[in-house]
Amino acid sequence: QVHLIESGGGLVQAGGSLRLSCTVTGSTFRDTMGWFRQAPGKERQFVASINWSGSQTAYEASVEGRFTISMDNAKNMVLLQMNSLKPEDTAVYYCAGTGRTSRAVVDIAWYDYWGQGTQVTVSS
């Protein structure tokens, strides 16, 4: 059974940076991984995705150029570096994965397992 544990969330001022980590256990770690976020009263939203080799990435338009997703295969970790943070980035961030494709995918329906989430709060 695959387990995902997120860390790295917190409170940061607008313009600041945070790095989220997602540790993957119980998997061969050849899955496509993604980050999603959910703000209060809103639906869960795609943020970024990466395939297991790191050869493909995808980003939601509002974060492209500010966020970077990467894999650390040696540590079974997925990272999300978030720079130039804005108050509208405030949300609970979730790590997710799927073994049903070898591509980076945007659609939430692809993702089969999820972490518990980590809170990111950006103050203005």
pLDDT band at 30 (very low <50, low <70, confident <90, very high): confident
**pLDDT higher than 80, residue 28:** no
The SS3 call for residue 74 is helix
pLDDT at residue 1 is higher than 90? no
Interval 90-122: pLDDT, tens: 999 999 999 999 999 999 999 999 999 999 999
Torsion angles phi and psi, residue 86, rounded to 5: -120, 155
The pLDDT-based confidence of 71 (bands split at 50, 70, 90) is very high
Mean pLDDT within 63-75: 94
Per-chain mean pLDDT for the chain: 95
Rounded alpha-carbon distances, angstroms, from residue 96 to 11, 45, 61? 22, 12, 19
